[in-house]
Copies of this chain bind each other. A is one copy, B any other.
Amino acid sequence: MNITRREFTWLIGAGVASQAIPTALGRPEERKVGYCIVGLGRIASHFMPAIVASRNARITGLVSGHRDKAERIAAQYRVPKNAIYDYQHYDEIARNPDIEAMYIALPNGMHAEYTIRAARAGKHVLCEKPMATTVNDSQAMIDACRKANKKLMIAYRCHYEPTNLRAVQLIREGSLGKIQAIESAFGFNIGPGEWRLDKKLAGGGPLMDVGIYSLNACRYLTGEEPAMLSATWSVIDKDGRFKDVEENISWTMKFPSGVVACCNTTYGAPMQGYYRVHGSKGVLQVDEAFSYQGLHLTANLEGKSADSQLTLDEPNTERDPSHFVREADHFAGCIRENKEPKSAGEEGLKDMKLMMEIYDSCKKVA
């Protein structure tokens, strides 16, 4: 069992930070980190209940272009009306001391601007993935937060999700032997008219949106950065959805150790997220690997009889949206303890650079 210090930190990062919060900072609510939610869409609707369920975070502000919706949500989460902002008055967050961190849940193309303005307003930033739509924007976000001495974390849920962490742990402790190859896929059949189909807002197609999960998984499963990659893309459905972005991408990668990985992503099929990791001693598969719930790990480990078939199910996530909660708590813990988040801006930048390499490869061989 060879676990480096860095890997160990990776594995238990979320837990440690949140448990180490001193309990003598003031009254319970006040010592919680105040999050302001920017963009009240689908992903925010998953994150807000998680903040409520968290140990050291609370919702102290909302940013929305829809006042009615914002007021309804503010009432639900007991956010004061004067902590509701529209995008014209976004920078006024600077004057609200109850807001310590911004949760950026906007379309990808707006991440950079609202992250940089948040940093300039003196706020920490938890930004959804992909962190931006270009490498330059990603770097600018990192620079802005560093200059303002504020934390930047990218909301890679799976870094805080128990089934994914268990998969990483099984690999690191050698249960699968030497890893040789990985397959992964994630996609869905997109409806027309979504902002995700607009390249300016989305930056790209399914790769930027969901393929990034497979890409990121190959990196955290191996603990390595791809040494080489090659990709191809296509549009099959000439129904108007894919004028701007790709419908399918398939890519293959080689890591410095020699591990090979191949991934598919699509906007044209209900492609349940999964990965399958092949090691010299066995195979591990996580189904629904990138879903909000229902994650399922199966491992077949050679040379073991009774426990050769390992099946892990995540604890009931109906009442416990566990990895959103861990994510919220982790970043709050990093802010309180002045620690670097496990999925900092640099992690998002790595994926961004790789996704651009994947697109470049597609263009080259198209």
Report A's interface with B, CB cutoff 8 A: 177-178, 180-183, 185, 187, 189, 228, 230-237, 247-254, 257-266, 268-272, 276, 278-280, 282-283, 300, 302, 361, 365
Contact = CB atoms under 8 A, between A and B. Distances in A.
27 contacts: A178-B269, A180-B266, A180-B268, A181-B185, A181-B187, A181-B265, A183-B262, A183-B264, A185-B278, A228-B232, A230-B231, A230-B232, A232-B252, A232-B260, A234-B254, A234-B260, A236-B258, A247-B258, A248-B258, A248-B259, A250-B252, A250-B253, A250-B261, A252-B262, A262-B263, A270-B278, A270-B300
A180 B261 contact: no
Given A180-B269, A185-B278, A233-B254, 7 more contacts: A181-B250, A181-B271, A230-B365, A250-B252, A251-B262, A262-B264, A270-B278
A300 B270 CA distance: 10
B250 A270 contact: no
Contacts of A279: 269
How many copies of the chain does the oligomer comprise? 2
A262 B259 contact: no
A248 B260 contact: yes
A4 B344 CA distance: 54
B247 A234 contact: no
Contacts of A261: 250, 264
A283 B254 contact: no
Contacts of A189: 280
A278 B232 CA distance: 17
A255 to B, nearest CB: 8
